[in-house]
Structures are given as structure tokens and as C-alpha cells.
Structure 1
Amino acid sequence: MANKPVHGLILAGGQSSRMGTDKALLPIGGKPLLYQLAAQVSAFAQSLTVAIGAPEREAVYREGLDDLASQANFVTDRIPGCGPLSGLHAGLSAIGEGYTFVMACDMPRLSVPLLQRLISAADSEADVICLSGQPFHALYHSRTVREIRRSLEAGDYRLMGLLSRLNTFMLELQEDDPLSVFANLNTPDDYKRYMAD
């Protein structure tokens, strides 16, 4: 896949309030969205972690992951109620040293060429390697955990604010970068559009 091994983290702890149902369990191709993402991430990552927010979700997510469940490490928020930053903190705290590829569970597409570009920039020694303006579908180094925790304790849950305080290497968008990678399934209409593509 690339010149550096990376871990994989899927953030699946959101409330799915605009969708009205758990986004991670939306059926896509006969399997839950979470399964589709886990299959894509586990194909290249040296470990797979799923940040699930609350512990009561583990059983249903484990069932949704089916044959992939044994490969996944499920983590719950250590500092709950703070949005995606809580899941990022929980996941990175549980993962070993090095870079972790982070996806939100409402972003159903993974771009291997873009991932390869991110990983090839890992020699930059940056804390975070991402596409400009996109905090997910990005690489986070384990050393970012301290700053993420500080942000949580300060009540500053803005992801772009976090990136501005870290040594962030932002790749510029290229013509062949698929913008569909950053499509979010936030509402029933988003899901319908995605399934119609």
C-alpha cells in the first residue's frame, strides 16, 4: 500500500441526530456502513480501532462488523459529550506509536490514491497530515493526544482550531483528488443521494 505502516481509526460515536437512525448501521451493499469502512481500512492498516462513544454500542457494532469484529478494538470516550474530538482522543489514546488514518463513519468512501499521498508525506514529521480544510480522511500522529486532551479540558472542541495548534501539513487539492471522498451522510437525503449514485 505505501512506504509506512499506519493504524486505522473509525469515529463512530456520534449521535446521528440529523439522520434519525444510527449512521454506522445504514445498509450499503447488504452490509452496515461501518462494515464497509472497516473492510476498506483493515485492508491496509496494521490495526483497526473503532471509537464507539458509549459502551452500550459495542454489542450492536460488533454484530454489524460480522467477520471483521475480531480484528477491531472498540474504545469508548474517556471524556464524553465533546463530539468527534472525544472519539479522536479515545482512539489515539488506545493506539500504539506512529500515524493513524482517521475516518468519520459518515464518510463512506476511501480514496486509496489520496491515502497514498498522505502516507508519502509522513516523512514531514508533521503531527497531522490532511487535505486542506479536511480534518478527517487524514493521518494523526500519536503525539497529538496531549494537545487533544488539552483542547477537551479547555472546552474547545473545534477540529480546525486543533489543527491550527498542531504541526499540520496540509496537502493541496489536486485535479484528480475525488471530492466524493469528503461526502458526508448526515441526513436521510444525503443517504438517498449516495445510494442513487
Structure 2
Amino acid sequence: MEKLLGVVLCGGQSRRMGSDKGLLIKDAKPWAVHTADKLKDLALQVVVSINETQQEAYQKIFPNTPLIVDHLPIDGPLDGLLSIHRNFPEKDILLMACDLIDMSSDTIKTLISSYRENPSFEYYVYQEEGFTQPFCAIYTGNALNKVYKTFEENELKKYSLHDRFESGHTMYLPVEDAKSFKNYNS
């Protein structure tokens, strides 16, 4: 487990929600803290991915957790993912969006078990009816090394996380608890 890093992805623009999702409060705690706690409860080291406009607010709610600021000229969550990878190149990343507040620990545990029991894959992701869930998924350091190298060589043409799964060696897991993936956009 020491090779697996838990990452809470908070750097989105939250345009549909209208405010920063990670800072919304549930049970007296910000959503991002709820998500981080789910990962910490599984004994994972946790870091938080943010954009530069979020630094001050997130430093207040995560005073003892590393904050990694998106810094690549890439739109979307791949910026956060590769920014984390550059800081922790030897780590595999369990990426969770800050709004996955309904995620069950069993869903995360199943993902981690699949990763540990089948080490030959590059990506581990839940999928239902052909739709992948990229925000509770594991991205290996080896796979991210390849993506980053392609980016550095100006050869990366597609930036979606779904494209990573399609072009890589991916283990698809069936979604057994759909409510874990409830999406909050309003």
C-alpha cells in the first residue's frame, strides 16, 4: 500500500454547481475533507489537487495535508493528475473527485483489492454500461510516465481520462453500488 497515493481532486471550475464543490459543507465538514477522510481511513497517504485560486481556502481546511497546484497547460482533470504525478512519480494514484461524498468504503476497497491482486494493468476503473468512472480509479505511475512523456513530446492529442483507459491496459470493474458514484452538479 505504500506505493498507492490517495488524491482528492478539487481543481475543477465547478461551473455547473456555481461554487467550489470541495468547500461545500455536509455534517459540519467540507466535501473535500469527507473524501480525504475516506482515503485516510484506508491507511492511504493523501494529497489534495487544487488550482492556484484555491490555495488560501484549502490551506485552511487541510493545514497538514500536501496541496499540489495544477501547473500544466492542459485543460481538465488530466492537469491535476499529471501535476500530482510529477511530484510523486514513483507512486500509483487512487484518484477521487471531491464530490464523491456518497462513495462507500467497500467500493474503494474492491478497487484497491483488484489493483493488488492484478498488478499487470495500467489503470483500474469502474464501468457501467460502457461508461467509465474516472474519478474513483487507480492510475499507475508507469502509465502516467508514458502519458507525461507523450505530453512533453507534444504528441498528446486527447486529454480526457477516458482516452487514457481506451489507449492503455485497463482493468474494468463492474459498478456494484451506483449510489457511490452520485454526481453533484447543482
Name the TM tier (shorter chain). Answer: 0.7 to 0.9
Amino acid at match of 1:64: I
What's the C-alpha RMSD, in Å, of the aligned pairs? Answer: 1.9
Runs of at least 5 residues in structure 2 that lack an aligned partner in the other structure: none
Counterpart residue number, 1:186: 185
Q: Output the CA distance in 2 between the equivalents of 1:110 and 1:20.
A: 22
Amino acid at match of 1:134: Q
Counterpart residue number, 2:66: 73
Counterpart residue number, 1:190: none
Q: Output the CA distance in 1 between the equivalents of 2:151 and 2:179.
A: 30
Q: Output the CA distance in 1 between the equivalents of 2:27 and 2:168.
A: 38
2:180 alignment partner, SS class: helix
Amino acid at match of 1:183: K
Change (3 A) 1:63 1:140: same
Q: Output the CA distance in 2 between the equivalents of 1:19 and 1:111.
A: 23
* Alignment partner of 2:170 out of 163, 168, 171: 168
* Residues 57-105 of structure 1: CA deviation (Å, up to 9, x unaligned): 122112123xxx31x1111113145111111111222225343211011
Q: When you count strand as a share of all residues, which structure comes out higher?
A: 2
Q: Output the CA distance in 1 between the equivalents of 2:42 and 2:174.
A: 23
Cα deviation, residue 25, structure 1: 0.5
Residue 129 (structure 2) pairs with residue 131 (structure 1)? no
Deviates more, 1:146-155 or 1:72-81: 146-155
Cα deviation, residue 109, structure 1: 2.3
Cα deviation, residue 155, structure 1: 4.2
* 8 A Cα contact 2:85 2:91, kept in partner: no
Residue pairs, 1:29-178, within 5 angstroms: 29-54=27-52, 56-65=53-62, 69-70=63-64, 72-95=65-88, 97-122=90-115, 123-124=117-118, 125-132=120-127, 133-149=132-148, 150=150, 153=154, 154-173=156-175, 177-178=176-177
TM-score, length basis structure 1: 0.80
* Residues 100-125 of structure 1: CA deviation (Å, up to 9, x unaligned): 21101122222221222212222322
Deviates more, 1:144-153 or 1:19-28: 144-153
TM-score, length basis structure 2: 0.85
* Residues 8-57 of structure 1: CA deviation (Å, up to 9, x unaligned): 00110011111111111111111111111122212224311111022x41
Amino acid at match of 2:37: A
* 8 A Cα contact 1:135 1:159, kept in partner: yes
Residue 23 (structure 2) pairs with residue 25 (structure 1)? yes
Q: When you count helix as a share of all residues, which structure comes out higher?
A: 1
Runs of at least 5 residues in structure 1 that lack an aligned partner in the other structure: 188-197
Change (3 A) 1:11 1:148: farther
Tell me the number of residue pairs that the alignment of Structure 1 and Structure 2 aligns.
176
Change (3 A) 1:40 1:63: same
Q: Output the CA distance in 2 between the equivalents of 1:161 and 1:64.
A: 33
Change (3 A) 1:99 1:17: same
